[in-house]
Amino acid sequence: MTNDRSDGLLPGWDATSSDEPEGATPAGAMPTRTGTPPGTFGLRILNVSEVARAIRDAVRADERLRDVWVEGEVGRVTVSSAGHAYFSLKDDKSAVQCVWFRDERVRSAFQPQAGLRIVVHGRVDLFEPQGALQLYVESIQPAGFGDLTLRFEALKARLTQEGLFDSARKRPLPSRPTTIAVITSPTGVVWRDIGTVLARRWPLARVVLVACQVQGEDAPASIVSAFRRLDRWIGQCRADGHPDEAPQVTILARGGGSLEDLWSFNDERVVRAVVAHAVPVVCGVGHEVDVTLADFAADVRAPTPSAAAELVVPDRAEWEKAFRRAAERIAVAAERLLTATRRELDAEARALLRLDPVAQLATSRERVGLLLDRAVRAGTVALTARRAAIERSAGLIPQLATQRVGSARSALDAATASLAVLGPQATLDRGYAIVRRAADELIVRDPTETPAATDLLIRVAKGEFRATAGRPRRDGDAAESN
């Protein structure tokens, strides 16, 4: 093969200077912009920016890359000072560099960690300054949820368009609620944890449990029913002129679990019940990484049920510190007032001394001195008495606060004891029994409901036993033993 200049090929590796085309720049001379560069023979050579733009246009023209869902394992994660996250998404053969901007990242409860398998949603584009082909992430979720995740995202998008999750409709929480409603299961640890936190932080508040199911097919209807019962009670209290007896805030709570376990809180009926509730709602469902649609609909989202309890009430210790700080400010203000008054008295004394005539009679001078001394003593006595009164008042503030908290705790204990006396177990302890039909476990209220030979379940104070109904008793018949 020859290096014919007309064939359009680049020169061979052993080309000499005699093979250079006409118009080439001599060795050692500065190149010029005119003419064809050596070794090109008319080929179009692109600069880096042109290549980058061509790649960018090709990527953006591919509709498959505009809206993609990609599953893979997270590589090393880096968060910049601006809050943007950079990480790689890889499988056993390839890796893709991902960028997650701060605005999208802070709105997500799930964050990427090295080694996790995730599904990301976004678009592929080219970052021209570095020539880097990157996946620009819009949302992230753990891999493996399948249809539930798609249903979650679809319902979330629809309810978002309706404005149910807008921050403008979120209501502020009351600073010191007197009554707090808790919608949760009465048998789980969540109810005990919430009660413990509320009793520790703000024992003055009254806590009302609205029992419901929090898992299973019947859970959404049970949660919605709990909201409706609570709304009716709040409305009745307001209509009766006792709004302080109604809850000022409601906690919707449940412990952690899988997406399937928490699916009741993604039900559209539950979301709408939260939005339509009469008072602000704090949602404490699952752990910090668990996110449900009820969290978006609630006025405040808490990472855990215990955190929800901490959000709705102030800390008693902080209030005690505030009282102490107020007492200290009162003492400082009193000391400042005494100091200012003493300075005024000293100024008056000096003024009297300056106005005393040297040639005044000795008796007049003595009389003026006595009057001045009496004024100083009277002012000092009055100031001392006032200071003592202020100090006594400051010392009584912590004692009054402690007495108020103790009185409220005693009232709460008395109410708890009264509830225990009125409970079903107390009625059984007094000798009563609950009779149910064994077939359907319905409570028997009429003898006609139990024909002869009907199997019965009889519950007494210390347990339950079975029995069989005899024939109905007629007038004059002797009592028949079952």
Question: Strand, helix or coil at 176?
Answer: coil
- Asked whether the predicted pLDDT for residue 423 surpasses 90, the reply is no
* pLDDT score of 25: 42
Cβ distance 178 to 205 under 8 Å? yes
| Paired tokens of 262 | 């928490």
- What is the reported pLDDT for 23? 42
How far apart CA 445 and CA 219 sit, in angstroms, is: 30
Work out whether strand 434-437 and strand 132-142 pair parallel, antiparallel, or are unpaired.
unpaired
What SS3 state is found at 223? Answer: helix
Residue 357, pLDDT score: 65
Does the model's pTM come out above 0.75?
no
Kind of pairing between the strands at 179-184 and 95-100:
unpaired
Q: Return the structure tokens found at 383.
A: 């100031």
Give me the chain's average pLDDT, please. Answer: 83
Work out the number of other CB atoms within 10 angstroms of the CB of residue 175. 8
Does the structure show a pLDDT above 80 at 366? Answer: no
Residue 393 confidence class, pLDDT cut points 50, 70, 90:
confident
Alpha helix locations (H) across 260-361? 268-276, 293-297, 305-312, 316-355
Q: How confident is the model at residue 170 (pLDDT cuts 50, 70, 90)?
A: very high
Crossing angle (nearest 10°) for helices 219-239 and 268-276: 10
Amino acid symbol at 333: A
Assess contact for 151 and 159: CB atoms under 8 A. Answer: no
Token couple for 9: 């090929």
- Among 195, 249, 190, residue whose Cα is nearest residue 215: 190
Bridge-based pairing state of the strands 249-254 and 281-285 = parallel
pLDDT band per the 50, 70, 90 thresholds, residue 8: very low
Give the pLDDT confidence score for residue 469 in this predicted structure.
85
Q: Per-residue pLDDT tens for 172-208?
A: 999 899 999 999 999 989 999 999 999 999 999 999 9
Percent of the chain with pLDDT over 70: 85
User: For position 36, what pLDDT does the model report?
Assistant: 54
Mean pLDDT over 463-474 rounds to 80
Please tell me the distance from the alpha carbon of residue 82 to that of residue 99, in angstroms, as a whole number: 13
Least confident of 52-66, 94-108, 133-147: 133-147
Rounded to 5 degrees, φ, ψ at 97 are -80, 135
Lowest mean pLDDT among 26-30, 120-124, 456-460, 477-481: 26-30
Q: Which has more pLDDT, 438 or 354?
A: 438
Tell me: pLDDT of 471 over 90: no
- Segment among 101-105, 167-171, 430-434 with least mean pLDDT: 430-434
pLDDT of residue 144: 60
pLDDT band at 10 (very low <50, low <70, confident <90, very high): very low
Average confidence (pLDDT) over 148-154: 76
pLDDT for position 38: 58
Q: How far is CA 47 from CA 44, 126, 328, in A?
A: 10, 17, 74
Q: What is the CA radius of gyration of the chain?
A: 42
398 by DSSP, 3-state: which?
Answer: helix
Q: Which two tokens stand for residue 341?
A: 């008054």
Residue 27 has pLDDT above 60, yes or no: no
Question: If you search the block for the tokens 């703000």, which residue do you land on?
Answer: 202
Residue 475 half-sphere exposure, CB side, CA atoms within 13 Å?
0
Mean pLDDT over residues 166-173, rounded?
93
Q: What is the pLDDT of residue 386?
A: 87
Distance of CA 299 to the CA centre of its chain: 9
Beta strands in 402-478 (DSSP E): 434-437, 455-460, 463-468
pLDDT of residue 370: 84
Which residues fall within 8 angstroms of residue 329, CB to CB, at 6 or more apart? none
The pLDDT, as a whole number, for residue 31 is: 44
The counts of H helices and E strands in the chain are: 11, 14
Compute the average pLDDT of residues 359-368. Answer: 68
pLDDT band, residue 152 (cuts 50/70/90): confident
State the pLDDT at residue 472. Answer: 65
Which residue type occupies 251?
I
- pLDDT, position 2: 40
Average pLDDT over every residue of 144-154 = 69
What is the rounded average pLDDT of the residues 218-246?
93
What are the residues whose beta carbons fall under 8 Å from the beta carbon of 82, sequence distance 6 or more? 102
Q: How many CB atoms lie within 10 A of CB 202?
A: 23
Q: Give the residue carrying structure tokens 């200071």.
A: 387
